[in-house]
C-alpha cells in the first residue's frame, strides 16, 4: 500500500523531530503530529521558530520548510487518527513509580490509552507503528486491544524504534546509521513493513533499512542503549581508578580506543550519563530479565546503573571534600543543566543529582544553562521529592548571564559540555571569585593547564 496520511501521537523529543524530517523528505505525504498538551502544540505552531518546544540544531529550518505544506501540529487527535493510513505512537514510557515493577518496569499506561483511542476512532484499516521505546512483546498487548474492539478494522503492528541522539537528532534522522523496522512475518505484516520501508526509502539507502520480526526490533532498541551506557559506566569506573593511581583516563581511553575491536566512541569519562533513554531502558531490561528468572543477567545490567549513580554522588562528594569538607553557605556555580549539549532536555541529567546532594550540604547553588528554563530546573528538583518546592527555590538560583552566575562563587562545576563555556574570559571570572577558586570539570571540557595558569585549582574526572 502507498501511505498518504501519517498521524503521530506525541509531540515530544521523538515525535516532533522525526515527523518533521519525514514530512520534509516526503512532500507527497500529509503528516499530522497530535498531542493533548495545547501549550506544546501552540509552541510547534509559533511563527517564531526560536520558540519550538524542542531545541535541536537545524530543527527550526526543517520545521519551517514543511509546516503548513504537509506538516501539521494539532490537538484534534481523533480527526488525525481517523484520516491516517499509518499511525506512529510516540508517547512517553517512563519507569513505573508504583505497583509491580516499581522503579524498573516501563509504565505502559500511555501506550494502552493510545491503543484504546485508536480502536475507538478508527473506521478503516491502519498500520500502527511503535516509535516509543518499549519492552519486548509490547506489540502483542497493543494488537490484542486493537483486535478485540469488534469494529471490523484490521491493524498491522510495526516496531520502528528511534536511534537518534539528542543534540544531533536532525543529523541522525537525515543520515541514519540504520532504520530498523520489525513486523509480523505474514503476507499482511510484510506488506505493512514494505509500506514503512517506502516512506524511509525516499531518503535512506535501502541497504541501511533493516527489517526483522517484531520481537527482535523491540529488543534491539533496549540492547543498543544498554551497550552504549555500559561503555560510559566502564570508562567512568576506570576514571576513579585513574585518580588514585596517577593514570590519566583520557590517555587510557585514547590508547584502548585505537583498538579496532573497541573503537573510540562513548569512552569519554564524565560525571555520568543522563537523558530519557539509557537508565530507563536498562532498568526495563533488568526487569524483563528478572521476570524470566534470569537473575545473573539482571544483576549484570543493573551494575551499569549502580556505577552511573556512584559517579554522580562521587562528584558531589569530591567537591565537598576538596572544599575543606564544608560547602555550607558557599556559592557553587553550575555551568550547564541539560544532560548534554545542544539540547534543552534535562531528563536524568547529572546536574540534578549533584545539585540535590550539594543543597543537602546547605550550599547555595547558582546555575547557568543557555537553553534550559528556570521553571524546568525547579521542576527537576521537585520531582526528586527530597524537599519542598519552596526550599528548592530558596537553595537554587538561575541566572541568564553566565558571568553573573560565576561572580563571587567559591567553585564552578562544569556539568554540560556546551561549547560556549570554552570561550569565556576565565581571567575575568577568576578575578571575581572567592579565593581559592575551584573548578570541578565533570565533562573534561576545559583546558586544565590554562586554568591553572590563571590561578584556579582544577579537578577533572579521571585525572
Residues identified as active-site = 277
* Interatomic CA distance for residues 401 and 265, integer angstroms: 33
* Interatomic CA distance for residues 328 and 28, integer angstroms: 61
Other Cβ atoms less than 10 A from the Cβ of 302: the count is 18
Among 140, 137, 130, smallest CA distance to 105 is for: 137
* Interatomic CA distance for residues 229 and 237, integer angstroms: 12
Residue 332 DSSP SS3: strand
Largest CA distance in the chain: 74
C-alpha cell, 168: 544531533
* Interatomic CA distance for residues 416 and 405, integer angstroms: 15
Bridge-based pairing state of the strands 411-414 and 179-183? unpaired
Residue with the three cell numbers 561572580 = 407
Q: What letter does residue 50 receive in the DSSP assignment?
A: G
Is 47 exposed, middle or buried (CB count within 10 Å of its CB: 0-12, 13-18, 19+)?
Answer: exposed
Q: What letter does residue 462 receive in the DSSP assignment?
A: T
Amino acid at each position: 500500500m502507498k501511505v498518504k496520511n501519517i498521524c503521530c501521537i506525541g509531540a515530544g523529543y521523538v515525535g516532533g523531530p522525526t515527523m518533521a524530517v519525514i514530512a520534509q523528505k516526503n512532500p507527497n505525504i500529509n503528516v499530522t503530529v497530535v498531542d493533548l498538551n495545547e501549550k506544546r502544540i501552540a509552541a510547534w505552531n509559533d511563527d517564531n521558530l526560536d520558540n519550538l518546544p524542542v531545541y535541536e540544531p537545524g530543527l527550526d529550518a526543517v520545521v519551517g520548510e514543511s509546516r503548513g505544506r504537509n506538516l501539521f501540529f494539532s490537538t484534534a487527535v481523533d480527526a488525525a487518527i481517523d484520516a491516517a493510513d499509518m499511525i506512529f505512537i510516540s508517547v512517553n514510557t517512563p519507569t513505573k513509580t508504583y505497583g509491580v515493577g516499581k522503579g524498573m518496569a516501563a509504565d505502559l499506561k500511555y501506550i494502552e490509552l493510545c491503543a484504546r483511542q485508536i480502536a475507538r476512532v478508527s473506521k478503516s484499516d491502519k498500520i500502527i507503528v511503535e516509535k516509543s521505546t518499549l519492552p519486548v512483546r509490547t506489540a502483542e498487548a497493543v494488537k490484542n486491544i486493537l483486535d478485540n474492539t469488534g469494529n471490523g478494522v484490521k491493524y498491522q503492528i510495526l516496531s520502528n524504534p528511534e536511534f537518534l541522539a539528542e543534540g544531533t537528532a536532525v543529523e541522525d534522522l537525515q543520515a541514519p546509521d540504520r532504520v530498523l523496522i520489525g513486523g509480523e512475518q505474514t503476507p499482511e505484516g510484510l506488506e505493512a513493513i514494505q509500506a514503512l520501508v517506502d516512506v524511509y526509502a525516499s531518503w535512506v539507502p535501502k541497504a541501511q533499512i533493516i527489517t526483522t520480526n517484531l520481537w527482535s526490533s523491540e529488543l534491539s532498541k533496549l540492547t543498543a542503549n544498554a551497550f552504549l551506557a555500559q561503555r560510559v559506566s566502564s570508562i567512568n569506573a576506570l576514571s576513579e581508578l585513574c585518580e588514585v593511581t596517577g593514570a590519566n583516563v583520557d590517555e587510557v581511553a585514547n590508547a584502548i580506543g585505537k583498538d579496532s575491536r573497541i573503537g573510540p566512541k562513548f569512552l569519554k569519562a564524565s560525571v555520568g550519563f543522563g537523558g530519557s533513554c539509557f537508565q530507563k531502558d536498562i532498568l526495563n531490561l533488568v526487569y524483563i530479565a528478572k521476570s524470566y528468572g534470569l537473575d545473573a543477567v539482571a544483576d549484570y545490567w543493573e551494575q551499569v546503573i549502580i556505577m552511573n549513580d556512584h559517579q554522580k554522588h562521587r562528584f558531589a562528594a569530591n567537591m565537598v571534600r576538596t572544599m575543606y569538607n564544608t560547602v555550607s553557605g558557599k556559592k557553587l556555580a553550575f555551568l550547564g543543566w541539560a544532560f548534554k549539549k545542544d539540547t534543552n532536555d534535562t531528563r536524568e541529567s547529572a546536574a540534578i543529582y549533584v545539585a540535590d546532594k550539594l543543597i543537602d550540604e546547605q550550599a547555595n547553588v547558582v546555575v547557568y544553562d543557555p537553553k534550559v528554563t528556570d521553571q524546568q530546573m525547579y521542576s527537576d528538583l521537585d520531582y526528586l521529592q527530597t524537599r519542598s518546592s519552596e526550599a528548592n527555590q530558596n537553595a537554587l538560583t538561575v541566572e541568564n548571564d553566565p558571568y553573573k552566575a560565576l561572580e563571587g562563587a567559591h567553585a564552578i562545576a562544569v556539568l554540560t559540555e556546551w561549547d560556549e563555556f570554552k570561550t569565556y574570559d576565565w581571567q575575568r571570572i577568576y578575578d571575581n571569585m572567592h579565593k581559592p577558586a575551584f573548578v570541578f570539570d565533570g565533562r573534561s571540557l576545559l583546558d586544565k593547564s590554562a586554568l591553572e595558569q590563571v590561578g584556579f585549582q582544577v579537578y577533572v574526572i579521571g585525572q
